[in-house]
A and B are shown apart, each in its own frame.
Chain A
């Protein structure tokens, strides 16, 4: 069974600065996918970024990038040039190559200060 740990219940960042949210997971599968989802206050959860475990190159989507370390089972999210709209709860979620289940971490609340 997969488990996910997000060790930072809350983080704060100054607007325009960089912040890193951490995620570690445990899985027995060799091939899997990793996701970061964002849940803004009172709004729908949306996908931020996705990483395939077989790819060595870290995924990047505009200001969002990941530091994926497969051996350490670590999947952190870096947000550069933070904006007020980045304030949200962020969830890390691995998914096995087969099957339908994503396992979500407990989430990290990100606050952005102006």
Chain B
């Protein structure tokens, strides 16, 4: 059974803290994505990676960075968390081309 696993379902952090969200996929997919989901706004792409150590900014990269040191793992980093980063974060992966996106269960982050 294919899987995308996000390390934390729920996190509570304080303003200014550094936050790591981890995502691992077991499908040997080249492409991995981080989305942010907010009510009324749908999913917005933060960053994606098409290969190890390769990354591209999505539509809302400000305040975020990413790391992909291994093919199966894609991390989202909030260098200094702010309250406006309180949201649901979804990781997804896909093989090349126009294949299906496989999603993790999501990480709900609250920044106080």
Contact = CB atoms under 8 A, between A and B. Distances in A.
B64 interface: no
B42 A107 contact: yes
Contacts of B42: 4, 6, 91, 104-107
A8 B93 CA distance: 28
Given A46-B103, A100-B48, A100-B50, A91 B43 contact: yes
A101 interface: yes
A2 B100 CA distance: 19
A39 to B, nearest CB: 8
A107 B40 CA distance: 7
Contact of B101 (A4, A9, A102, A106): A102
A33 interface: yes
Contacts of B98: 33, 50, 52, 95, 97
Nearest to A95: B98
What's the interface size class on B, roughly? 20 to 34
Contact of A104 (B31, B43, B105, B106): B43
B41 A106 contact: yes
B45 interface: yes
Contacts of B100: 35, 47, 50
A45 interface: yes
A64 interface: no
B61 interface: no
Nearest to B31: A100
B43 A43 contact: no
B101 to A, nearest CB: 7
A79 to B, nearest CB: 19
B2 to A, nearest CB: 11
B71 to A, nearest CB: 16
Given A50-B100, A97-B98, A101-B45, A43 B40 contact: no
16 contacts: A9-B40, A35-B101, A44-B104, A44-B106, A45-B101, A45-B103, A47-B100, A50-B98, A50-B100, A52-B98, A91-B42, A100-B56, A104-B43, A104-B44, A106-B40, A106-B41
